[in-house]
Amino acid sequence: MGTNYYWHEKSSPCDKCGHDEAKEIHIGKSSNSWVFFLHVDSEEGIFGLTDWVDRFAEDGSYIMSEYGTRIPGATMLAVILERKNTENSWSAETIKRNHAKPGPSGLYRGIDHRHFDPPDPDTDVYDLVEGEFC
């Protein structure tokens, strides 16, 4: 089971009709035993964690979990960076079945073609993932 997180741009409703075209962009997913899957989106200018941190700091924007909970930017960074797995060691068969490889802090990384290790995969507890996923 996991939790998806979304960044919401500052609301900007139309003066005439009230329609709001503010963006909602998928930040990524936190799943038990896995490194955080951090969504990258070149069309949105998001190529890594630094770009997300800049978005988190935008005036009037906010972060929401898929369950409707607002998340402060500092808490979102902790969800991404302060991950550990001390309870759930996987067998070689489970690793293979999940298309994974061992990662830092007892976590597992994806080896799917959409997953890219971050700049320092020995210490960073997130993978960069492009395209749609949930």
Q: What are the two backbone dihedrals, phi and then psi, of residue 50, each rounded to the nearest 5 degrees?
A: -60, -40
20-70: per-residue pLDDT in tens?
A: 778 899 999 999 999 999 999 999 999 999 999 999 999 999 999 999 999
> Based on the structure, what is the number of domains in the chain?
1
Phi/psi of residue 49, nearest 5 degrees = -60, -40
Q: What pLDDT digit, counting tens, does each position of 54-68 carry?
A: 999 999 999 999 999
Whole-number average pLDDT of the chain:
90
Q: What integer pLDDT is reported at residue 82 of this predicted model?
A: 95
Q: What φ, ψ does residue 77 adopt, rounded to 5°? A: -60, -40
CB atoms under 10 Å from CB of 69, counted, come to 11
Domain of residue 98: give its range.
Answer: 2-13+20-130
**Percentage with pLDDT > 90 across the chain:** 69
> What pLDDT was estimated at residue 134?
63
